[in-house]
Structure 1
């Protein structure tokens, strides 16, 4: 089953805390999960200051600079993994280096029945 591990952290603490992970540690973690065959995708995100929030209300597009809401922790990145079950996904998420200074939300992916040929 696929799980999305959403990494949240306070951007200042993510890079300045004594427990902050170094890029090399994050790369090593990603490589281990990749080599195990459980990594489907992973990306770090640019600063929340570069975010744009899009809403469609009453047929009109509304665009706002920045995140949807002010929070103490921002979405910093994600891992899309394949795991036997939620317990295995939680174990993998617990090893994400950024979990030491933030948190990781683990969510099962809901499969969409989309016919790839329908768009052509």
Structure 2
């Protein structure tokens, strides 16, 4: 079964850090990512830009707004997909990600959300 995992962060806390500190944090993530990938169960991993657009259908038209929903204080900074037997195994796998391994993540408001995937289209005419 596939699970989509979304890594959240609080932009104001990250933006308050000097660039050099952010580079150090990202370098500290590398060994954890390598260990995470070694599980062989990570099927996709992507880091996301902070630029965000929200699309919503309203009165028969699609509207586009900047950013996430107004009430959201967190942004999604990464997404990854794991192949796991069940939610417990998905939690085990996601806990290897730097989001939960680095102490600084707690200070910066990092967290992971895990959701089972009902369908996944990877190639044209292919649904999993």
Question: TM class by shorter-chain length?
Answer: 0.7 to 0.9
Counterpart CA distance in 1 for 2:120 and 2:82 is 17
Determine whether 1:73 maps to 2:67. no
What is the aligned partner in structure 2 of residue 13 from structure 1? Answer: 13
The number of residue pairs the alignment matches comes to 112
What is the aligned partner in structure 2 of residue 25 from structure 1? Answer: 28
Distance 1:112-1:12 versus aligned 2 partners, 3 A rule: closer
What is the aligned partner in structure 2 of residue 44 from structure 1? Answer: 47
What is the aligned partner in structure 2 of residue 92 from structure 1? Answer: 93
Deviation track 1:11-70 (CA, whole Å, cap 9, x = no partner) reads: 233463xxx7822333333333333220111111112xx211111223212111111223
TM-score (norm 2): 0.71
Moved beyond 6 Å, runs of 4+: none
Distance apart, 1:4 and its partner CA: 0.9
Counterpart CA distance in 1 for 2:87 and 2:68 is 29
Query: Which consecutive unaligned segments of at least 5 residues does structure 1 have?
Result: none
Query: Which consecutive unaligned segments of at least 5 residues does structure 2 have?
Result: none
Distance apart, 1:73 and its partner CA: 1.7
TM-score (norm 1): 0.75
Determine whether 1:35 maps to 2:44. no
What is the aligned partner in structure 2 of residue 2 from structure 1? Answer: 2
Report the aligned-residue RMSD.
Answer: 2.7
